[in-house]
Amino acid sequence: MDEFVNLKATELRLGLPGTNNVCEERVSCNSNNNKRALQADAENETETSPPRKTQIVGWPPVRSYRKNNVQTKKNESDGESQGIYVKVSMDGAPYLRKIDLSCYKGYSDLLKALELMFEFSVGEYSERDGYKGSDFVPTYEDKDGDWMLIGDVPWEMFECNCKRLRIMKGSEAKCLGSGV
C-alpha cells in the first residue's frame, strides 16, 4: 500500500502537488472564441514560477489583436534569426525537450516532428472534435495562460502565442474534448 502511495506522489499530472483534481474555477466565463480551455494551474514539478494571478477572461478589455502584438518585448527576441524556442513536455516522459517553432512550416510539419521525437502518434484532427483515434493530444499554453488544442488557430497566430507545448495523455486528454 505504501508503495502505491509513493507512486502516486511522483505521477506527473496537471495541478499543484498535493491537489487531487483538475480544478475549474468559474471565473466569469469558461469559454471564449475558440478556446476549449481547462482552467488550471499548469505548474509541474520541474518548473518554479511565481503563482499566477487569476486571469479573468476578456479582462482588461483590450482587443486580442492588440494583446498579441504588444507582447514583442517579452517573448520574441529580435527577428526570426533567433528562433522561437519552446519547451515540449509529454505526459509520462521523464524530461522535457526544446524545439524551435520557426523551423516548421506549419502544423503537419510540427506534429510529424513531435511524433518522431517522442515516438507516438497523434490521431486525426477535425475542427469540431479535436484529435480522434489516439490517446495522445497535442496542446499548448498561450500568452493568456490558457491550454489550447494545437491546430485550431492559423499557424502564424500560434507561433506568436505559443509559450510551451504539452502532449497530454489518457484521461486528461479526453476531458479537453468535452469542453466542460
User: Can you give the binding site for another protein, defined by CB under 8 A?
Assistant: 28-36, 53, 55-67, 69-74, 78, 128, 154, 156-157, 160, 178-180
What is the grid cell recorded at 57?
477572461
Q: What is the closest distance, in whole angstroms, from the C-beta atom of residue 63 to another protein in the complex?
A: 5
Shortest distance, position 156 Cβ to another protein, whole Å? 5
Query: Given the C-alpha cell 466542460, which residue does it identify?
Result: 180
Nearest partner of 168 among 89, 109, 96, 107, judged by Cα: 89
Diameter of the chain measured on Cα atoms: 55
C-alpha closest to that of 176 among 150, 158, 156? 150
Of 21 and 49, which has the nearer Cβ to another protein? 49
Nearer to another protein, 87 or 143 (CB): 143
Nearer of residues 7 and 29 to another protein, judged by Cβ: 29
Give least dist CB 180 to another protein, A: 7
Q: Please return the burial class of 10, using the count of CB atoms within 10 Å of its CB with bins 0-12, 13-18 and 19+.
A: exposed
Q: Given the complex with another protein, which of 63 and 116 has the nearer CB atom? A: 63
CB of 88 to another protein, least distance (A): 23
Residue 119 CA to its chain's centroid (Å) = 19
Dihedral pair phi/psi, residue 151, rounded to 5°: 115, -15
What radius of gyration do the chain's Cα atoms show?
A: 17
Nearest to another protein of 90, 151 (CB atom): 151
Supply the minimum distance, in Å, between the C-beta of residue 154 and another protein.
5
Backbone angles phi, psi at 92, to 5 degrees: 95, -20
